[in-house]
Structure 1
Amino acid sequence: MRLNEKTRIVGQRVILVPYEAKHVPKYHQWMSNEALRQLTASEELSLPEEYAMQHSWREDDDKLTFIVLSADLYRQSKDEIAAMVGDTNLFLHQDEDSGQKIAEAEIMIAEQDSRGKGYGREAMLLMLKYARDHLDIDKFEVKIDMDNVISQRMFQSFKFVETRRVEVFHEVTLERSITPDWNKWLDEEVKLKIESY
């Protein structure tokens, strides 16, 4: 999505930057890990396919993505590639029955050493707040592997509620409508600074 191509979002622990071609080799390296692909329900792609996917994320109006940088690593190195720890995405669609505009959220902290440091939590909160403020959406949803209890707990702490389980896909769906009470909670939970990229 071109909406964020010149946007950097700065939090306390993480910095979100647009997914660009320069990030693809490291991202491709992450996704060569079978366990990571299984956790994210991703298919293995060749490097040219990964570049095509990055281009699609940039151009398509129904996708929004940011690369997650460790703020400390970036401040030390001034090197985005060295500071990359994961990514966060939204897929936008409209519910045919209700007409609601839904953003399906994803977060991945790919670097093993960067897990458990609050990066995923802050990156996802920043993404939710940015999307709420810049996109016309009614509700967020996430689809998480049933065994990924850590992710389920994180989204439950964001006041998402489980709405269904699909055994055949081994997947649980949690949802969060955008309401005044939740907006207030989100604004208290995370502060973001938007800069030009």
Structure 2
Amino acid sequence: MLLNQNTLLLGKKVVLVPYTSEHVPSLGPSLCPCRYHEWMKSEELQQLTASEPLSLEQEYTMQRSWREDADKKWQAQPGVTEESCMAGDVNLFLTDPGDPAVGEIEVMIAEPSCRGRGFGTEAVLMMMSYGVTKLGLTKFEAKIGQGNEPSIHLFQKLHFEQVAVSSVFQEVTLRLAVSEPMRQWLLEQTSHVAEKPYRAGSAEPH
């Protein structure tokens, strides 16, 4: 993630910023009820994301690994302002050492009030466009829990096709090869996105 640790992407509905230590603490409902550590206490999100609850110290350790690991190209927090309206996260992994053109992508809209508003769709499109134009990716993969119908539907809407089902991990795998027409479509969908330098707290409402 060192490549883009100072990059902010500004869309119409979401702002994507790098995952920093400021996004981890839970400050309580009066200040920011939707920070990452608080979200991941939710049993629903644990089931949808096949995640285990982590201690605050473990969350900080994970955050530091995102900053230092070159194979994790971005974890970004979609929202309008960082303190008051974090909505979830979108991740892009380089998981195949033999094929650096493949990116595994995932998205989580953790804040219930932010679901069904197109935030996840725009976040995924923005991340895919970044992967194609900045990282040279030509293929994307998404692994989603079988019961996570909203996420499966989102990726199918973006032209991903289901290619495998794992009964062991209870997940489906969807893939998308970025042909030239698909690349042009993706760039059209994200033509409004602006790339700016990131400083903690610099995401602005729009």
TM-score between both structures, scaled by the size of structure 2: 0.87
1:24 maps to 24
Write 1 or 2 for the structure with the bigger share of strand: 1
Alignment of 1:47-196 (within 5 A): 47-63=56-72, 64-69=74-79, 71=80, 74=81, 80-94=82-96, 96=98, 99=99, 101-191=101-191, 192-196=193-197
Indicate the RMSD between aligned Cα atoms, in angstroms.
1.3
Q: Offset of 1:115 from its aligned partner?
A: 0.5
Q: Is the 8 A contact 1:16 1:68 kept in 2?
A: yes
Secondary structure at 1:42 match in 2: coil
Q: Is the 8 A contact 2:164 2:173 kept in 1?
A: yes
C-alpha separation in 2, matches of 1:110 and 1:18: 17
Aligned residue type for 2:75: T
Q: Is the 8 A contact 2:103 2:139 kept in 1?
A: yes
Secondary structure at 1:84 match in 2: coil
TM-score between both structures, scaled by the size of structure 1: 0.90
> Which stretches of structure 1, 4 residues or more, deviate above 6 A after TM superposition?
none
1:77 maps to none
Write 1 or 2 for the structure with the bigger share of helix: 1
Deviations 1:173-193 (A, max 9, x none): 000112101101111222311
Identical pairs, percent: 44
Q: Is the 8 A contact 2:101 2:139 kept in 1?
A: yes
Q: Offset of 1:100 from its aligned partner?
A: 5.9
Secondary structure at 2:88 match in 1: strand
Give yes or no for the alignment of 1:38 onto 2:39: no
Unaligned runs of 5+ in 2: 26-34, 199-206
Deviations 1:103-141 (A, max 9, x none): 110100110111011111111111111111111323100
Q: Is the 8 A contact 1:100 1:138 kept in 2?
A: no
Aligned residue type for 1:196: P
C-alpha separation in 1, matches of 2:87 and 2:108: 8
Deviations 1:127-164 (A, max 9, x none): 11111111132310001111212111111111111110
Aligned residue type for 2:12: Q
